[in-house]
Chain A
């Protein structure tokens, strides 16, 4: 016999509008073992919480059922409420009468009937719940930040300043990310390098940051508080401990590669640093363009290196890191617009993508900051095409959020650096950030021409060979336009990194339908993920501008601190255990567990589960033919009872 209290929330009218709360309460009172049932306007409010707590004491309740919003919303809140009275927190059951009942029907009869069935199921289940004790584990205070763009840099600096050890893992040979490629930043037009490079340097200098460039995470094991991470240090063929960054090697090197940094607009030496302000200032050899690796002889860099830092024998190495929490800030790619053949990118030399143009503006870029076409001439008219692949059902439905603003920035810089006519082809202008509308107005006054219509096609001009024609419909005048220009800038969709799926799997994240990493809750947990202890920041979560990215990075750092600032933490107690008396030793659990938690004890001929590794999915319990595995909080009896209760009404 248990003593159950049922508490039904109105949630203002959110629930009460389509569920007759009083009727649910009356109904609950008729159910077995229910000793009290009450309703309240807002059960999650302080008076609501006190109502529950008082009833627990008054009626000596040993099970509590709260019928309110989704357990994903307030299960933790109510667990704390009942725990405060001394009742074990796992004796709580949440009934989802809001998200999965009142909000999805407009018929109060139907809503009320479903509410009853759900409460009945919950009562059946609650009777079989057991108190569970959470495991307390030691927390490793170190932090891994993945991605060395502005988000990763900001988070790493913030965390390192609190005295924590931070590992900043970056895939490319330098930190800085996309922001380091930009010339100016909107809407203030302050120079990107001026605000970023001091931060890059601060990372390098910080005694609490271990910067790991040219590295990739290859494996993540463990759980919140105790992650085991393997990082691959890709072979640089330069011993960075010996290298004194004199860069004599880069001068002598005859190898010519393509500079990813300059978006392929320039060449780079086979041994090089990506750009002059790169951090670290130490070079890496690109195997694909190195004369020695290609032809077996050269080794000029080795000859000029006084430090004897060149090492052609270097291999990839693997480093094990232990950490308590992880921030994933892996950034984005721009959509490859070559498949959109109507825009001619990659075929028509006058068509550029946004990042290429960023490099053209940049004084450290391939043209030294001069805006010239590939033939060296200055464009006389330029069209900027918004939403290429974004807001497009055939490609990416989402809005890439920053293109309107950087397109305005481009227009301004074109006006500043050339005497060209500048045209914007847009669907809608979206200027919703602080100072953005003002910036938009400023650019309008700079004699930039705005045409409301998406660029439909770019063709080569028949009349003037070498020039381009932009075809579009001006949706204000409803006229079709054929505009001859010298240069076209495409603003491609911001898309998840090409390897986002791998990263997602490695860190056990979810992704939204566009492939961006998904937050635990869009409003209330925007930086947490479904994996405890792993946080996300920046554009890997969705397109955003630099201020938002930095704000997220700081937020993620704060989230991380809530974990690593304590030396111990409680884990969920909902793990699986084996009842050895009924284990037949078939080892199905061992075969199906993705975490290696079960193992076979040959002496006893039974399986055993290492709870520290168990993540509580319950897979083993379903694979176990004898029901020897008890998936705590989701046991066979509990689930069957709930099914029975739900099917009764």
Chain B
């Protein structure tokens, strides 16, 4: 089991060192919120801020989400769990940030919990990974226990459903949507400003929370995140009406991995699958 206290100490120590030395302008980490279950993302900008940093099993926010807020060229240190690190990789691939401007404080962790349900989320999201895929400093021991879990096992029951049942399932889910856009706010990959759904030319869908507008919003968002979603699950945890968006994203991620032989955000040198092609791509993918 991860020693959260130890990681918090190490995180503070590293953050302090970096800020004191002036090697970064900001350290992205977590601080306490309303209660233990609701920590908040936190930007430590001076050494004194470091005292407010915490790390516990509810620190789920994907901190990569906040990197693009800073002006290009800003030196940033980010505390990255496995999923955060993958998001950082995608952002580097998409040239939103440069690797040399980042110091990645890697957090190997298992036993993270959903703040609403208290259940352990390792297997459901974070792609089943426990260690960051890229880091400069590791704030704990790499975790190599337990058998590796397929991040896609959870999909099986939905893939088995017949089409009508699956449509009914998703329709019921999307009909719940109140279009608060918390999903895109939480998503480290949703940095578009404005989002397509806020466009007026064209107006892709109705803006009120009606079935068809909701469907358009979500399906298009799944398409936009294809090959980019790194399975952190933040969209789902952020959702006030509990739409299991992560399932759909996971399914698209699985399909992309099967079709394009590459999972999102694993290696900086990988190309982005949706803006790339192989001459030898098979027409089978269209079947």
Query: Can you identify 16 A-B contacts, CB atoms within 8 angstroms?
Result: A582-B199, A585-B96, A586-B94, A586-B191, A586-B192, A587-B94, A592-B275, A626-B196, A626-B199, A627-B196, A627-B199, A627-B201, A635-B202, A636-B201, A637-B202, A640-B202
Interface residues of A (CB under 8 A from B): 582, 584-588, 591-592, 600, 602, 605, 623, 625-627, 635-637, 640
CA distance A626 to B201 in the complex (A): 10
Chain B residues with Cβ below 8 Å from A600 are 95
Say how far A247's CB is from chain B's closest CB, in angstroms.
Answer: 46
A623 partner residues in chain B, CB cutoff 8 A: 274-275
Contact of B224 among A602, A625, A637 (CB under 8 A): A625
In the complex, chain A residues whose CB is within 8 Å of the CB of B33: none
Q: A640 vs B201: C-alpha distance in the bound complex, in angstroms? A: 11
Residues in B with CB closer than 8 Å to A635 are: 202
Who on chain B is nearest to A639 by CB?
A: B202
Query: With the chains together, A591 CA to B224 CA distance in Å?
Result: 15
A626: B residues at CB distance < 8 A = 192-196, 199
Expressed in whole angstroms, the Cα–Cα distance for A307 and B120 within the complex equals: 86
Within 8 A of A (CB), among B195-244: 195-196, 199, 201-202, 204, 224
Name 20 extra pairs, CB < 8 A, besides A623-B275, A640-B202: A582-B194, A584-B192, A584-B193, A585-B96, A586-B94, A587-B95, A591-B272, A602-B72, A623-B274, A625-B196, A625-B224, A626-B192, A626-B193, A626-B194, A626-B196, A627-B196, A627-B201, A636-B202, A637-B201, A637-B202
Closest to A586 in B: B94
Mask of B179-192 contacts with A, CB within 8 angstroms, 1/0: 00000000000011
Residues of B within 8 A of A (CB): 72, 94-96, 191-196, 199, 201-202, 204, 224, 272, 274-276
Residues of chain A with a CB closer than 8 A to B196's CB: 625-627
Tell me the minimal C-beta distance from A539 to chain B in angstroms.
28
A625 — which chain B residues lie within 8 A by C-beta?
192, 196, 224
CB distance from B96 to the nearest CB of A (A): 8
A-B CB proximity, top 8 nearest: A591-B275, A584-B192, A637-B202, A636-B202, A625-B224, A626-B192, A627-B199, A588-B275
- Bound-state Cα–Cα, A591 to B199, Å: 23
User: Which residues of B are found within 8 Å of A582, using beta-carbon distances?
Assistant: 194, 199
- What separation, in Å, do the CA atoms of A114 and B196 have in the docked complex? 33
When distances are taken between beta carbons in the complex, the residues of chain A under 8 Å from B94 are 586-587
Report the separation of the CA atoms of residues A588 and B93 in the bound assembly, to the nearest whole angstrom: 11
Residue of B193, B202, B272, B276 near A627 (CB, 8 A) is B202
Q: Which of B72, B195, B204, B276 contacts A591 (CB 8 A)?
A: B276
A46 to B191, CA, bound (A): 56
B49 shortest CB reach to chain A, Å: 28
Contact of B191 among A584, A588, A637 (CB under 8 A): A584
The distance in angstroms between the C-alpha atoms of A118 and B96, with both chains bound, is 44
- A contact residues around B204 at 8 Å (CB): 627, 636
The chain A residue with its CB closest to the CB of B195 is A626
Residues from chain B with a CB closer than 8 A to the CB of A627 are 196, 199, 201-202, 204
Bound-complex Cα distance A602 to B95 (A) = 11
Residues of the A chain whose Cβ atoms lie less than 8 Å from the Cβ of B202: 627, 635-637, 640
B197 to chain A, nearest CB (A): 10
Nearest opposing residue in chain A for B220, CB measure: A625
What residue of chain A has the Cβ atom nearest to residue B190's Cβ?
A: A625
- In the assembled complex, the Cα of A584 lies from the Cα of B189 at a distance in Å of 12
Residue of A with least CB distance to B73: A602
Residue numbers in A under 8 Å from B272 (CB-CB): 591
Residue of B nearest to A128 (CB): B202
| Distance in Å: Cβ of B269 to nearest Cβ of chain A | 15
Residue of B nearest to A623 (CB): B275
Collect the chain A residues with CB atoms within 8 Å of residue B195's CB: 626
Q: Which B-chain residue is minimally distant from A602 (CB atoms)? A: B72
Nearest-Cβ distance from residue B126 to partner chain A, whole angstroms: 24
Bound Cα distance from A635 to B201, whole angstroms: 9
* Cα–Cα, bound, A191→B188 (Å): 76
- Expressed in whole angstroms, the Cα–Cα distance for A600 and B191 within the complex equals 17
A589 closest partner in B (C-beta): B275
- Complex Cα gap A585–B193 (Å): 9
